[in-house]
């Protein structure tokens, strides 16, 4: 299998892009290792067990919406109708890597878009074989990893996304929709609400409906110039893509290209002291900069924020954020940490119970597009020590070496995870036990 014969000319062969994504990915990962969860109304919770972020079809059928706060399904959990699991990112990350590696067997050109979805370039494959290839992808991912996936195929990313959406929505498709055929493309566009189109979203969807554009087909038929003027160049690209003209570059978007790096957590226990908040933010800064360095990138702007629980009644509520800058782009943890005391003077207020804090690096750039500043120190040259720091932590475990400001006390603000499943695939002590 695989498409790379290299002999076709890209100008004569129509591109074929498949979007493959896992169904209820987090829930499916849990079910692979725990058969008792199969067929159950299962939900996976956010970092701090605060709300539901993944649902099985059975849970969706009970009318439990995405983002439902955990306490709202408490009764159903006690009655045993609903099962909730804390998120197990060690497991999901490993299963995601396996999923992507199986997809790679079908084409060397793979663009991981998120933890549970990837675009696969199938250009050059005979049209007649597309549907069977989609089925083979489903079968192989299922057999190798246990994960159920859906596949949508078409000539652009936006159309592939639409095809994938249809594969999910209509069970009769068996999980594969080949939308390379223009007539079929047209039929699907006509029955798809404009808000369901990738890149449109609810807000723009409403605005489009206000001007009489209700279906994806109507959007595809719109005048590009008018769309660009009335809405945006981004929506114009969506129109081009719906018309079958590829406008979103292969490398664009997705994990590798995010424009920000965020490290934030909801605290397991409320944090109310300056010291604890300082330690938390320092650890987020150190983690964010580590991520930045692993991508060989730099940043000159960041935002630090803190807030109390917005849902809790009867307590003082606050939410503050502050923008931090460095003279030149940098990935040096220390340069960001230096600014933390001043930032905290503004962020921290006595008498509040903080629920969440975070640090977001913005305006990310690579070494080649850094503009030099004559007056500022070249902060980017200062990377050797950081490289050593990362190497030590990679070898001896995260946080083995850390800035002293991160603190040494047991971290009370750590994730609050009451029902997390074992790290089945990443920790020898937690591998699955089976009866023999």
Partner 1 sequence: MKPVPILPQPNAAVVPFYQSPAACGFTSPAADYLQDTLSLDQLLIRHPAATFFVRAKGNSMEGAGIFDDDILIIDRALNPVDGDVILALWDGELIVKRLVYRRGRPELHSEQVGYAPIRLNDEGRLDVWGVVTEVIHRLR
Q: Can residue 223 be called a binding residue for partner 1 (CB under 8 A)?
A: no
264: helix, strand or coil: strand
CB nearer partner 1, residue 336 or residue 424: 424
Range list of H helices, 79-156? 89-103, 127-145
Query: What is the closest distance, in whole angstroms, from the C-beta atom of residue 264 to partner 1 in the complex?
Result: 27
The pair of three-digit structure tokens given for residue 220, joined into one six-digit string: 């595809």
CA distances for 99 relative to 139, 325, 424, angstroms: 12, 39, 16
Out of 98, 168, 230, 291, the residue judged to bind partner 1 by CB under 8 A: 98
CA–CA dist 284, 358 (Å, integer):
7
Write out the H or E segment, with its range, that includes residue 60: helix 57-61
Per the CB < 8 A criterion, the answer to whether 336 and 289 are in contact is yes
Q: Can residue 144 be called a binding residue for partner 1 (CB under 8 A)?
A: yes
CA–CA dist 230, 172 (Å, integer):
38
Q: Can residue 433 be called a binding residue for partner 1 (CB under 8 A)?
A: yes
Residues in the chain, overall count: 436
Out of 2, 101, 253, 272, the residue judged to bind partner 1 by CB under 8 A: 101
Q: Can residue 385 be called a binding residue for partner 1 (CB under 8 A)?
A: no
The piece of 98-106, 179-187, 246-254, 404-412 that touches partner 1 (CB under 8 A) is 98-106
Q: Can residue 391 be called a binding residue for partner 1 (CB under 8 A)?
A: yes
CA–CA dist 162, 155 (Å, integer):
11
Q: Can residue 384 be called a binding residue for partner 1 (CB under 8 A)?
A: no
Query: What is the closest distance, in whole angstroms, from the C-beta atom of residue 400 to partner 1 in the complex?
Result: 11
Q: Can residue 426 be called a binding residue for partner 1 (CB under 8 A)?
A: no
The piece of 18-26, 153-161, 228-236, 390-398 that touches partner 1 (CB under 8 A) is 390-398
Query: What is the closest distance, in whole angstroms, from the C-beta atom of residue 94 to partner 1 in the complex?
Result: 10
The piece of 144-152, 156-164, 197-205, 366-374 that touches partner 1 (CB under 8 A) is 144-152
> Footprint of partner 1 on residues 28-47 (CB under 8 A)?
35-36
Short-list 166, 182, 180, CA closest to 125: 180
The piece of 119-127, 140-148, 158-166, 238-246 that touches partner 1 (CB under 8 A) is 140-148
Q: Can residue 431 be called a binding residue for partner 1 (CB under 8 A)?
A: yes
- Alpha-carbon torsion 365, 367, 371, 372, what sign? positive
């Amino acid at each position: 299998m695989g498409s790379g014969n290299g002999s076709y000319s890209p100008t004569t062969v129509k591109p074929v892009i498949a979007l493959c994504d896992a169904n209820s990915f987090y829930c499916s990962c849990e079910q692979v290792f725990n058969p008792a969860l199969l067929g159950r109304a299962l939900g996976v919770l956010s970092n701090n067990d605060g709300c539901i972020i993944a649902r099985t079809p059975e849970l969706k059928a009970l009318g439990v919406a995405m983002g439902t706060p955990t306490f709202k399904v408490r009764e159903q959990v006690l009655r045993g109708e609903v099962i909730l699991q804390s998120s197990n990112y060690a497991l999901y990350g490993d299963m995601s890597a396996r999923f992507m590696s199986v997809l790679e067997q079908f084409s060397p050109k793979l663009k991981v878009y998120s933890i549970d979805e990837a675009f696969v370039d199938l250009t050059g494959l005979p049209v007649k074989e597309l549907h069977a290839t989609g089925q083979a992808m489903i079968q192989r991912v299922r057999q190798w990893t246990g994960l159920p996936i859906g596949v949508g195929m078409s000539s652009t990313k936006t159309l592939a996304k639409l095809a994938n959406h249809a594969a999910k929505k209509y069970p009769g498709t068996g999980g594969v929709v080949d939308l390379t055929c223009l007539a079929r493309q047209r039929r699907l566009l006509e029955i798809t609400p404009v808000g369901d189109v990738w890149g449109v979203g609810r807000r723009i969807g409403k605005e489009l409906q206000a001007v009489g554009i209700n279906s994806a087909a109507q959007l595809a038929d719109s005048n590009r110039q008018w769309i660009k003027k009335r809405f945006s160049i981004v929506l114009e690209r969506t129109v081009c893509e719906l018309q079958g003209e590829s406008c979103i570059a292969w490398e664009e978007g997705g994990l590798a290209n995010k424009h920000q790096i965020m490290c934030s957590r909801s605290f397991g226990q409320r944090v109310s002291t300056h010291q604890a908040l300082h330690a938390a933010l320092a650890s987020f800064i150190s983690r964010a900069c580590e991520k930045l360095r692993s991508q060989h990138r730099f940043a000159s702007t960041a935002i630090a924020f803190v807030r109390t629980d917005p849902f809790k009644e009867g307590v003082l509520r606050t939410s503050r954020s502050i923008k931090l800058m460095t003279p030149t782009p940098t990935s040096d943890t220390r340069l960001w940490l230096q600014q933390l005391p001043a930032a905290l003077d503004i962020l921290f207020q006595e008498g509040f119970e903080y629920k969440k804090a975070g640090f977001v690096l913005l305006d990310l750039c690579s070494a080649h597009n850094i503009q030099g500043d004559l007056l500022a120190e070249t902060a980017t040259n200062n990377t050797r020590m950081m490289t050593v720091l990362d190497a030590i932590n990679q070898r001896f475990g995260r946080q083995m070496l850390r800035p002293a400001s991160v603190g040494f006390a047991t971290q009370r603000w750590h994730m609050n995870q009451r029902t997390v499943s074992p790290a089945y695939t990443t920790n020898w002590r937690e591998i699955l036990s089976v009866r023999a």
